[in-house]
Amino acid sequence: MATSKIGFMIFLTLFSAIIIAFTTTAVSAQCQGDLQGLIEQCARYVQKSGPQETPSQECCNVVKTVDVPCVCKMIPPQVERIVSMEKAVFVLASCGKPLPHGTKCGGKAQSTLLFL
């Protein structure tokens, strides 16, 4: 039983990494900033599983380099399945780069995210 859970978690992690890698390539072509660094430094803070945590300084340093409204426009549904958009908005605000009210990030508008 434990072995199958571990196998599933490994599969989910690899699947997530593949989706994010393809998304990063497409987004990098159109949006400014260190998107690979964003994934590396901030992924743990925006995963659907686990508690909401204040992001690290390293995560915030990368967040400040990224054109977040541009990235938000390009988030595919596959990424929304593994990333909590509510946590992403929290991370942005915690890093001093909140989304403007009404910004659509993925499939939800920012105003909806803040009041869930």
Instruction: Find out whether 99 and 92 touch, Cβ atoms under 8 Å.
Output: yes
Q: Which domain holds residue 54?
A: 2-114
Instruction: Find out whether 33 and 88 touch, Cβ atoms under 8 Å.
Output: no
Q: Which CATH number do you get for residue 32?
A: 1.10.110.10
Q: How many domains does the chain have?
A: 1
Per-residue model confidence as pLDDT tens digits over 17-51: 544 544 444 454 578 888 888 888 999 999 998 89
Instruction: Give the number of C-alpha atoms closer than 13 A to the C-alpha of residue 7, restricted to the C-beta side.
Output: 4
Per-residue model confidence as pLDDT tens digits over 54-105: 999 999 999 999 988 888 887 888 888 888 888 998 999 999 999 878 888 7
**Quick one: pLDDT at residue 6?**
55
Instruction: Find out whether 105 and 88 touch, Cβ atoms under 8 Å.
Output: yes
CB atoms within 10 A of CB 1: 5
